[in-house]
Amino acid sequence: MSNEVNTDLLKERSTATFDAERLTEFIYKGPEKVKRKRQIQNIVLQDKFLQSFKPTEFYDRDGQYNNAVRRQIYIMDRLEELGFRSETDRLNFREAAAPVELSPFGLHSGMFVPTLERQGTPEQSRKWVPLGKSFKMIGTYAQTELGHGTFIRGLETTATFDPETQEFILDSPTLSSIKYWPGNVAKTVNHCLVMAQLYTQGKCHGTHLFLVQVRSMEDHTIMPGLEIGDIGPKLGFDGVDNGFMKFNKYRIPRMNMLMRYAKVLENGDYIKPKNAKLTYGAMVMVRVWIVMDAFKALSRATVIAVRYSAVRRQSELRPGGEEAQVIDYQTQQYKLFPLLATSYAFLLAAEGMSQIYAKISSDIERGNLEDMPQLHALACGLKAFCTWVGCEGIEVCRMSCGGHGYSHASGIPKIYANIVGACTYEGENTVMMLQTARYLSKSYFRGQRGESLPELIQYLTIDLNVKSTLGEDCSFESLVAAYSHRAARMVATACKLQNANKQKGMPSHDAWNKSTVPFIAATKAHCHLLYAVYGIVENMGEFMQDGYFNQDQISILNRKVLALLEDIRPNAVALVDAFDYPDHLLQSCLGRYDGQVYEALYENSKSSPLNNTDIHSSYYNYIRPMMQKRSKSKDISAKL
């Protein structure tokens, strides 16, 4: 490979109108943090073991899982040796060391240990959390069943208290009650947090979490009374062993129920939690993290597509002129620049969401549950919105790289395959949007009754008769007002339909169901408050339906969006450089910092396993016999 940087990329960087390094410092919160991040990434680059792995797509499933376990354990050991204590350092190391691989221990650190910490009593946490943190106990979160994922109240696994032995008996009474999908259940973990219907004194008290040992701590054999296996290959998540698990009257001690909020006493008495939804806390936490995952996935795909578009030359823009950089086509800019802006918007949204989560979850831990509904609505809405928009955007990035985007060498298919799962896991997106919609509906009616609303949704009570004041400058205030108006109008429309359905005599659940399509649109509009000009142009009908904008204002917006493409054009490469993703993190021949994409693609294809031999064994086994057979039958027909 040559060491030179592609001349088009050199030119893009030298003509940018701002210093990308300053923006990098803003993104990572200061020059010292950027320096530290780069030092850590360089440690990974110098690490021979970590650099010895081929891209995951060159391994079969067994190899992918095996590599993932091997690499992740090596990472844990290195983190200890290096003495990294700060969560940011550890995350930077992990991401650089395994950039596209999902860890078979991800749910252990991401859900199992934090849930023990937050849902266990202080005594339980003291006992189990150190075992989890030191990996003496390896666990996961097992909730979904064959028959139910979305509807948690419909889960069928039972945990029945037996006061005689002071144990719970876990059982899978039906086929549909078998746990199915939980990550790392199949081969990796020896413990699970199991969501099951709690029965005591003959009464069901709804779903609760139980700590269950599933494999021997001595030799990893499956505990008697359990059936466990892998669910098979999936669209992505290749290194993750999503599994199934069936309980056959399996006993665990009473104290293995997580009892921070709800309790079962020795005599079988049940103590209710302050709010039954406190058991759902782990899901809320992960939904918050998923917003950040959506940012990382979309921004990586955008870096790849923008850099490649600056390097790729195709067709004549000026008749007889040189072939143009594809980034100079207005249509290409319209595909990619809004996604670049969306990436930055997602970063800010994810950080804002994390701060809100930190504040409200610490209130909840102190017993103040007042803001729980608001947190739930925000986490559900943003998780669904960012993963949907992110995945659509990644697909646009892939297509905007033409044929090469379809190759794994582009790096984009893997990004997509991993993040698209987040549209489904931790709450299917439509269902999540409808949770936010319920909150908006209730808030709308509260607003109508003159009750005060939390700041984020106060816009629901604005006067809908007011028209836009947007002028040539497309001021920030006029854009925010437009988004607020559109969302408020759409929520009001959906609520009026819900009300009208009720007045026709429909029971309230039917009145709700028959207004959920407009509610989803309204909730998307609510989440869309992130966007500016492009979002209006793309959803013009929703902004115009009640004549909020006049024709002149629409023309202003259409002109503005095209002018913005021109403004961004000289800075597009600098804006993606600012994310500061090194090549080994992107794992993309197209998104390389030096732009040497053709050399990289050519080199990469040489490592395809099909190139191990010039003549593949299938020639001897099938092609040659087929040709021999055909040539013989031709001889026969020639003779005839």
Ligand X SMILES: Cc1cc2nc3c(=O)[nH]c(=O)nc-3n(C[C@H](O)[C@H](O)[C@H](O)COP(=O)(O)OP(=O)(O)OC[C@H]3O[C@@H](n4cnc5c(N)ncnc54)[C@H](O)[C@@H]3O)c2cc1C
381 binds, among ligand X, ligand TC6, none (CB under 5 to 8 A by kind): none
What's 192's DSSP letter? E
Smallest CA-to-CA distance from 590 within 416, 415, 410 is with: 410
- The verdict on whether residue 144 carries a ligand-binding annotation is yes
Q: Which does 6 bind (CB under 5 to 8 A by kind): ligand TC6, ligand X, none?
A: none
Sign of the Cα torsion 82, 88, 94, 97 reads: negative
- State yes or no: residue 458 binds ligand X (CB under 6 A): no
* 423 contacts ligand TC6 (rule: CB under 6 A): no
Sole window of 63-71, 251-259, 427-435, 625-633 interacting with ligand TC6 (rule: CB under 6 A): 427-435
Give kind and range of the element (H or E) at residue 227.
strand 226-230
100, 264, 310, 372: which one binds ligand TC6 (CB under 6 A): 372
Which amino acid belongs to residue 188?
Answer: T
Q: State the residue for tokens 């003959």.
A: 202
CB 569 within 8 A of CB 333: yes
For the window 279-318, what string marks contact with ligand TC6 as x by the rule CB under 6 A? -x--xx----------------------------------
Number of amino acids touching ligand TC6 (CB under 6 A) = 24
Among 112, 141, 289, 459, binds ligand TC6 (CB under 6 A): 141
- Contact residues for 639 (Cβ-Cβ < 8 A; gap 6+): none
Residue 463 phi, psi (nearest 5):
-75, 115
Q: By CB under 6 A, which span of 75-83, 150-158, 497-505, 599-607 interacts with ligand TC6? A: 150-158
Pick one of 23, 107, 481, 487: the residue that binds ligand X (CB under 6 A).
107
Distance CA 24, CA 575 (A): 9
Q: Which does 254 bind (CB under 5 to 8 A by kind): ligand X, ligand TC6, none?
A: none
Q: Could you report how far apart the first and last alpha carbons of the chain are, in Å?
A: 59
State which of residues 7, 15, 51, 150 lies at the interface with ligand X (CB under 6 A). 150
Does 428 sit near ligand X (CB under 6 A)? yes
Among the listed residues 67, 217, 56, 44, the one whose alpha carbon sits nearest the alpha carbon of residue 138: 217
Among 26-34, 142-150, 346-354, 397-405, the segment contacting ligand TC6 (CB under 6 A): 142-150
What letter represents residue 412's amino acid?
I
* 430 contact, one of ligand TC6, ligand X, none, CB 5-8 Å limit per kind: ligand X
Q: Does 183 bind ligand TC6 (CB under 6 A)?
A: yes
**95-109 burial code (b ≥16 CB/10 A, e <16):** bbbbbbbbbbbbbbb
Tell me how far apart the alpha carbons of residues 398 and 165 are, in angstroms, rounded to a whole number. 59
Alpha carbons 306 and 400: distance in angstroms, whole number? 9
Site string for ligand X, 110-149 (x = CB under 6 A): -------------------------------xxxx---xx
Nearer Cβ to ligand X, position 242 or 299? 242
435 binds, among ligand X, ligand TC6, none (CB under 5 to 8 A by kind): ligand TC6
Q: Are 121 and 72 in contact (CB under 8 A)?
A: no
Residue 307 pairs in a beta bridge with none
The one catalytic residue among 25, 156, 167, 426: 426
Strand pairing report for 167-171 and 250-253: antiparallel
Q: Is 90 exposed, middle or buried (0-12, 13-18, 19+ CB in 10 A)?
A: middle
Q: Classify 121 as helix, strand or coil.
A: coil
Report in angstroms how near the CB of residue 211 gets to ligand X at its nearest: 15
Nearest CA to 314 out of 302, 303, 327, 301 is that of 327
CB nearer to ligand X: pick between 184 and 407: 184
R_g of the chain, CA atoms, integer Å: 28
Q: Which is nearer to ligand TC6, 102 or 327 (CB)?
A: 102
Partner whose footprint covers residue 142, from ligand TC6, ligand X, none (CB < 5 to 8 Å by kind): ligand X
Binding part of the chain for ligand X, among 17-25, 87-95, 178-186, 605-613 by CB under 6 A, reads: 178-186
Pairing verdict, β 243-247 and 179-180: antiparallel
Query: DSSP letters along 184-224, please?
Result: TTTTT-SEEEEEEEEEETTEEEEEEEEEEE-B-TTT-PBPT
Q: Examine the residue annotation and report whether 538 is marked as an active-site residue of this protein.
A: no
CA of 97: how far to CAs of 75, 93, 111, 500, in Å? Answer: 7, 6, 21, 56
Name the token pair of 105: 């221990």
Tally DSSP H helices, then E strands, for the chain.
Answer: 26, 13
Which entry of ligand X, ligand TC6, none binds 153, CB below 5 to 8 A by partner kind?
ligand TC6
Cβ 438 to ligand TC6, closest distance in Å?
Answer: 5
Our CB check for ligand X shows the closer of 106 and 405 to be: 106
Which range of residues in 259-267, 370-378, 382-390, 448-456 is near ligand TC6 by CB under 6 A? Answer: 370-378
CB of 515 to ligand TC6, least distance (A): 15
The interface mask with ligand X, positions 216-255, x = CB under 6 A, is ---------------------x----x-------------
Q: How far is the CB of 148 from ligand X (least distance, A)?
A: 6
Site membership for ligand TC6, residue 261 (CB under 6 A): no
**Interatomic CA distance for residues 279 and 152, integer angstroms:** 11
Q: Is 183 annotated as a binding residue?
A: yes
Q: Is 168 in the site for ligand TC6 (CB under 6 A)?
A: no
- Closest approach, Cβ 617 to ligand X, in A, equals 35
144 interacts with ligand TC6 by CB under 6 A: yes
Task: Closer to ligand TC6 by CB, 280 or 543: give it.
Answer: 280
Dist CA 498 CA 504 (whole Å): 10
Q: Do residues 206 and 153 make contact, with C-beta atoms less than 8 angstroms apart? A: yes
Tell me 108's DSSP state.
Answer: I
Between CA 191 and CA 141 the distance in angstroms is: 9
Active site residues: 426
Binding residues for ligand TC6, rule: CB under 6 A, are 106-107, 141, 143-144, 149-153, 183, 277, 280, 283-284, 372-373, 376, 425-427, 431, 435, 438
Binding residues for ligand X, rule: CB under 6 A, are 107, 141-144, 148-150, 181-183, 237, 242, 421, 424-425, 427-428, 430-431, 434
Known binding positions for FAD: 144, 183
